[in-house]
Amino acid sequence: MPKVSVKVKWGKEMYPDVEVNTEDEPVVFKAQIFALTGVQPERQKVVCKGVTLRDDSWANFKLSNNALVLVMGSKEEDVPAAPVEQTRFVEDMNESELATALDMPEGLINLGNTCYMNATVQCLKTVPELKNALLDYDKSSGGGTAGELTSALSETMSALDGGGAGACAGAAAKLLRALHATAPRFAERGAGGGLAQQDASECWTEIVRALQARLPAAPGASALRSSVIEQYFGGTLDVELVCSEADEPPTRTTESFLQLSCFISQDVKYLQSGLRSKMAEQITKMSQTLGRDAIYTKTSKISRLPAYLTVQFVRFYYKEKESINAKILKDVKFPLELDVLELCSPELQERLAPMRSKFKELEDAKVEASLNARNKNHGDSSKEIKKKTALPYWFENDVGSNNSGYYRLQAVLTHRGRSSSSGHYVAWVARGDSWLRCDDDAVSPVTEEEVLKLSGGGDWHCAYLLLYGPKILELPEEDDEPMVTDVSDDTAGVPPTALA
């Protein structure tokens, strides 16, 4: 009898008819208790008939209908703790910090080494087109494990959008269960019996793969893009292979990608150089002319840019002696604004030119207007700039592409530790003009300077995955300065005329 209805007693509070599924991990039941009581799973002692519930097993913890389950533990806010950082008073905050502090979004509790999943979800949430597609998803549409994972992520997005801590805890538990069903390796146990730490990049890939199968493309997508994932995250490479050892005609093909890789070598100090080196590399493959393996030069150029560009720092490598994925801690700088023109094919560069010219024209006009205002002593920096129309960031007949080659950073997923199977993952996400650190259920404001310090070089958090969104060009109202912004809010993907 895997499902039973029990009574949960916490202090003076009694919660009847709590449904428990003993086929789930015990930590899922603890997440239910957290939703009811506000007591974090790690602070709970759950007892039934004198037996204490373990995190990894239901062994000896026998539940039956109407059984009484006792919960001991206090909510975190009931226990005073010393401040970990200097208190910032409201009167000392600027306008952006104040708005952030008074309207902090929800986080996701750690259900036992699930920080990799929590960080992934928070980063993906910054893509409004993806979030809206998930909120509109038909949860009754089936689709096997991919459908269950998509449905669970849809519920999680809804909970994060204002469902409260209890709803977020329940949604996170369902999402974890769906992730385990989709990729059983994520249910592996560590030496102590609890859930083992997993790789956030692998989690990202599994979730994106499920969404790719279940979320159809939005209106305006190219005929080549059948899903929202392919539409907004998918790019295309023109690839040329030239044999270095024989006089063979070049081989030209196309490849699709959902993310780019930045390999970290001794010479790579910046993201751009890491991406560039990956676009021109030497590989070994069979030569039909020589009848043996030969060295080929592989040159790749981007022929379709996605609206949202995912970049993975390849920081982990397998260390055979210790049997672990060791980490490369090297400092590799990444920018808040990224220009990928040099990585594009000549044909795409030509197509990008008109929008890039508009960016330059309006930036020049902004500089000129600023100089004129200063000369006339009318340079009031507090002047309100009103939005009028946001120009599309996509090419006509290919909604979800990028038509300028300009990007702005909107999420960073970091890892702290020495191997992918240990340590801790955190999401750092842009919200308007400010940044937030999403460390499981603890969400706090941070500065751009703090985000840029995530480039590596020590045992602090190192950037592992970067998510760049399209840089948006906004036409100002008459007599106002031009504006350039990003799409880290829910207005992204809305036709420009609707923003007028």
Q: What is the pLDDT of residues 47-87, one digit of tens each?
A: 998 889 987 788 888 888 999 999 998 876 544 444 445 55
180, 243, 424, 438: the catalytic one is 424
pLDDT band (50, 70, 90) for residue 498: very low
115, 123, 243, 438: the catalytic one is 115
pLDDT at 90: 46
pLDDT at 371: 83
| CA distances to 68, 73, 105, 217 from 47, in Å | 9, 11, 33, 48
Stretch 274-289: mean pLDDT: 92
The helix (run of H) or strand (run of E) holding residue 442 is: strand 442-446
Is 128 a residue whose pLDDT tops 60? Answer: yes
Q: How many residues does the chain have?
A: 500
Residue 461 falls in the annotated catalytic set: no
Residue 180 falls in the annotated catalytic set: no
Is 208 a residue whose pLDDT tops 90? Answer: yes
pLDDT at 29: 86
Query: What is the C-alpha separation between 495 and 500, in angstroms, rounded?
Result: 10
Model confidence, pTM: 0.80
φ, ψ for residue 497 (rounded to 5)?
Answer: -65, -25
Give residue 168's Cα distance to chain centre.
17
pLDDT band (50, 70, 90) for residue 284: very high
pLDDT at 89: 55
Eight-class DSSP state of 103: S
The helix (run of H) or strand (run of E) holding residue 298 is: strand 292-304
pLDDT band (50, 70, 90) for residue 478: low
pLDDT band (50, 70, 90) for residue 408: very high
Q: What is the pLDDT of residues 479-489, one digit of tens each?
A: 445 566 666 55
Q: Which residue has the tokens 């399209």?
A: 470
Show me where the domains of the chain are located.
1-74
As a whole number, the mean pLDDT across the chain is 86
Stretch 339-343: mean pLDDT: 98
Query: What is the C-alpha separation between 80 and 77, in angstroms, rounded?
Result: 7
pLDDT band (50, 70, 90) for residue 495: very low
| Amino acid at position 327, single letter | K
| Amino acid at position 310, single letter | T
Closest CA relative to residue 222, chosen from 42, 372, 401: 401
Check the CA dihedral 58-61-67-69 and report its sign.
negative
pLDDT at 23: 80
Stretch 285-294: mean pLDDT: 93
Q: Select the CATH number that applies to the domain covering 1-74 from these four: 3.40.50.10140, 3.10.20.90, 3.30.70.930, 3.40.47.10.
A: 3.10.20.90
Query: What is the C-alpha separation between 368 and 366, in angstroms, rounded?
Result: 5
Is 444 a residue whose pLDDT tops 90? Answer: yes
Tokens of 198: 């997993």
pLDDT band (50, 70, 90) for residue 206: very high
Is 45 a residue whose pLDDT tops 50? Answer: yes
147 with 141: CB under 8 angstroms? yes
Of residues 449 and 43, more confidence is placed in: 449
pLDDT at 155: 96
Residue 324: CB atoms within 10 Å: 16
Q: What is the pLDDT of residues 313-334, one digit of tens each?
A: 998 877 667 667 778 889 999 9
pLDDT at 68: 92
Is 214 a residue whose pLDDT tops 70? Answer: yes
